[in-house]
């Protein structure tokens, strides 16, 4: 598949061909239909001080997206192939003290797609099914891709 890859520790990114992600039993594979560019993506692209201390290259970046479920893992029950979806981009560990108390929003081991894992600036992205929410199929994909930043603003 084609993907935008942060290919080196420096300014820029490039379009590359990479493998379609494999999924495990609790993940879904999503055909990406729209993405949004976040300030985080700009930090990564320009390779500022923050990204230099956080990002491990090479990898696919981007974390705001919407798309269509292409494949589901054997344990997935909340979404089905063909569903229109977006995602909560913070992947939590479920094992730190905060997660064990149900305080997932302050998980000490949170990973963010497109920062700590491969992201959505690609034709496909793999995500834990628990991070997926269904969108109304009538919603334009472009609107679905900005739900994550909209949620940040609402909850702030």
Q: Are 121 and 68 in contact (CB under 8 A)?
A: no
The CA distance from 87 to 56, in Å, is 22
Burial environment of residue 43 by CB neighbours within 10 A (0 to 12, 13 to 18, 19 or more): middle
How open is the CA angle 119-72-44, to the nearest 5 degrees? 5
Q: Looking at 7, 43, 90, 143, which residue is catalytic?
A: 43
CB atoms within 10 A of CB 80: 11
Q: Looking at 8, 17, 40, 89, which residue is catalytic?
A: 40
Catalytic residue flag (residue 43): yes
Q: Are 48 and 39 in contact (CB under 8 A)?
A: no
Residues designated as active site: 40, 43
């Amino acid at each position: 598949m084609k993907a935008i890859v942060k290919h080196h520790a420096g300014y820029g990114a490039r379009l590359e061909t990479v493998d379609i992600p494999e999924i495990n039993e609790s993940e879904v594979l999503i055909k990406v239909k729209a993405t949004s560019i976040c300030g985080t993506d700009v930090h990564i692209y320009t390779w500022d001080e923050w990204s230099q201390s956080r990002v491990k290259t090479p990898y696919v970046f981007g974390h705001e997206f919407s798309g269509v479920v292409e494949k589901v893992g054997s344990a997935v029950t909340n979404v089905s192939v063909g569903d229109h979806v977006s995602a909560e981009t913070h992947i939590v560990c479920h094992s730190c003290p905060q997660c064990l108390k149900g305080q997932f929003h302050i998980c000490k081991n949170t990973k963010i797609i497109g920062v700590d894992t491969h992201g959505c600036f690609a034709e496909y992205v793999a995500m834990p099914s628990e991070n997926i929410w269904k969108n109304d199929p009538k919603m334009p994909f472009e609107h679905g891709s900005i739900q994550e930043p909209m949620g940040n603003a609402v909850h702030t």
